[in-house]
Amino acid sequence: DAWERLAAQVGGDAAGSGGSAGSDQAYWPTSVALRARSFTAAGRTLNDLVAGGSREGAVWRINLDARELNGYAEYRQPAGQGAGRLYARLSRLTLAPSAASDVERLLDEQPQTIPALDIVVEELDLRGRKLGRVEVEAVNRAVAGAGASGREWRLNRFDVISPEAVFRATGNWVPLQAQQSATAASRRRTVMNFQLDIQDAGGLLARFGMQDLVRRGKGQMQGQVAWVGSPLSLDYATLAGNFNVNVENGQFLKADPGLAKLLGVLSLQSLPRRLVLDFRDVFSEGFVFDFFRGDVRIEQGVAYSSNLQMKGVNAAVLMEGQADLFRETQDIRVVVVPEINAGTASLIAAAINPAVGLGSFLAQFVLRKPLMEAATQEFHIDGSWVEPRIQRIGGKSSADGKTDPAPATAPAR
């Protein structure tokens, strides 16, 4: 900063005495070599840094190695209305929680000097999670009708590539509409269209710190999500969007509290703990599924679905209801149809129509077959993810016209 102030002052003097605009660049160095145990710039610290750079006009080129990163970068200084451009090819980059927060604050300010980005990192470590190869192309541009300070951070490409999955997304980060409150209007909203191609669902969850939740699993998720806040920090309370999930040939394992616990609820591991089931062996050791699929809609952090389906060797499972991702609660209706004969569960799982809903489907299909109806069991799950309450639903008509009573609700432990 001190060097830039000196250069600007000298350049201003030169311009005042007949020099041309931008003549201060003549006083800037054309090459730099640096070795430092600790180097701090713009609030960021690099440790054990070795760097060598050169300048040609408004373009800087630099090779650098430090504990936090290694690679090559080019920076083109802003010119006219342009915000400059940063091109980087890094073999590794580590962003600690504090560094990630710095990036969020920088982007949230949306200054006009934030450059366009063309960055590839072979191994990105974000908040202690090794994400794999990351490719980013982004520009910062004015938003029409948003005033002089309104800027849009547009992601033309955001790809995360690992052995377990490939995540591809595009999107933007824009100011909230002017009709919002003053506090809300000063914040920005992330919108992201994504596709996740999964090679190993269990390995992918383990990479994000959720080990031993799912074994194997291959498939795809795709859709659009949006939330208020930074692209680097998902805000469940304002999350909205929709997506489709279709994963095949996997197994649910034991789930711990937190977001992972929802998988425990969906895999029905809690059922055998409180209820005497004819198909206890189907769920107690983790449901092995041929597929897990369905459509999910999210509004203000609450996820809704009317057609979640699992198909295993011994049963088909159909679910509808909602899960509050912010409060970590659920209200789900579950129907389990055991395999009566070859193909029964497959037929059930393949036939459900998301436009019809679970209730209509049961009335139109399952309840027309007495044997299937007798074996089918229905449950209601609510409460928190950590302590779900499970109620077995009766109400099916018997021969004497009476209904089977439902047992008392009991929390899973």
Lowest-pLDDT range of 165-169, 296-300, 375-379? 375-379
> One-letter amino acid identity for 273?
R
Q: What is the pLDDT of residue 356?
A: 56
Q: What is the pLDDT of residue 175?
A: 72
Residue 83: band (very low, low, confident or very high) from pLDDT cuts 50, 70, 90: confident
Lowest-pLDDT range of 1-5, 37-41, 164-168, 393-397? 393-397
**Is pLDDT larger for residue 146 or for residue 165?**
165
Mean pLDDT of 147-176: 84
Of the candidates 357, 309, 354, which has an alpha carbon nearest to the alpha carbon of residue 336? 309
Q: What is the pLDDT of residue 317?
A: 81
Cα 11 from Cα 325, distance rounded (Å):
56
What residues have CB less than 8 Å from 240, skipping those under 6 apart?
Answer: 225, 226, 227, 298, 299, 300
**Is pLDDT larger for residue 307 or for residue 169?**
169
CA distances to 39, 177, 329, 334, 375 from 352, in Å: 61, 39, 25, 14, 18
Of the candidates 164, 165, 227, which has an alpha carbon nearest to the alpha carbon of residue 196? 165
If one counts every other C-beta atom within 10 angstroms of the C-beta of residue 76, the result is 17
Q: What is the pLDDT of residue 397?
A: 31
Of the candidates 395, 296, 288, 304, which has an alpha carbon nearest to the alpha carbon of residue 345? 288
Q: Are 74 and 59 in contact (CB under 8 A)?
A: yes
Lowest-pLDDT range of 25-39, 65-79, 243-257, 376-390? 243-257
Mean pLDDT of 210-233: 87
Q: What is the pLDDT of residue 340?
A: 54
Of the candidates 84, 263, 231, which has an alpha carbon nearest to the alpha carbon of residue 167? 231
**CB-side neighbour CA atoms (13 Å) of 43:** 8
Q: What is the pLDDT of residue 304?
A: 93
**Residues linked to residue 267 through DSSP beta bridges, in sequence order:** none
In the block, which residue shows the tokens 């609700």?
Answer: 409
Q: Answer whether residue 299 shows pLDDT above 80.
A: yes
Q: Answer whether residue 87 shows pLDDT above 60.
A: yes
Mean pLDDT of 195-205: 93
- Condensed to tens digits (0 to 9), the pLDDT of residues 88-110 reads 999 999 987 766 666 666 655 55
Residue 129: band (very low, low, confident or very high) from pLDDT cuts 50, 70, 90: confident
- Condensed to tens digits (0 to 9), the pLDDT of residues 7-17 reads 555 544 444 44
Q: What is the pLDDT of residue 220?
A: 95
Residue 405: band (very low, low, confident or very high) from pLDDT cuts 50, 70, 90: very low
Cα 266 from Cα 309, distance rounded (Å):
10
Q: Answer whether residue 164 shows pLDDT above 90.
A: yes
CA distances to 25, 83, 117, 223 from 58, in Å: 8, 12, 16, 41
Q: What is the pLDDT of residue 274?
A: 40
Q: Three-state SS string across the chain, please?
A: CHHHHHHHHHHHHHHHCCCCCCHHHHHCCCEEEEEEEEEEECCEEEEEEEEEEEEECCEEEEEEECCCEEEEEEEECCCCCCCCEEEEEEEEEEECHHHHHHHHHHHHHCCCCCCEEEEEEEEEEECCEEEEEEEEEEEEEECCCCCCCCEEEEEEEEEEECCCEEEEEEEEEEECCCCCCHHHHCCEEEEEEEEEEECCHHHHHHHCCCCCCEEEEEEEEEEEEEEECCCCCCCHHHCEEEEEEEEEEEEECCCCCCHHHHHHHHCCCCHHHHCCCCCHHHHCCCCEEEEEEEEEEEECCEEEEEEEEEEECCEEEEEEEEEECCCCEEEEEEEEEECCCCCHHHHHHHHCCCCCCHHHHHHHCHHHCHHHHHHCEEEEEEEECCCEEEEEECCCECCCCCECCCCCCEECC
- Condensed to tens digits (0 to 9), the pLDDT of residues 168-190 reads 999 988 777 643 444 444 567 88
- Condensed to tens digits (0 to 9), the pLDDT of residues 333-389 reads 888 877 655 555 555 555 555 555 666 666 666 555 555 566 677 888 898 887 888
Q: Does pTM surpass 0.85?
A: no
Q: Answer whether residue 198 shows pLDDT above 90.
A: yes
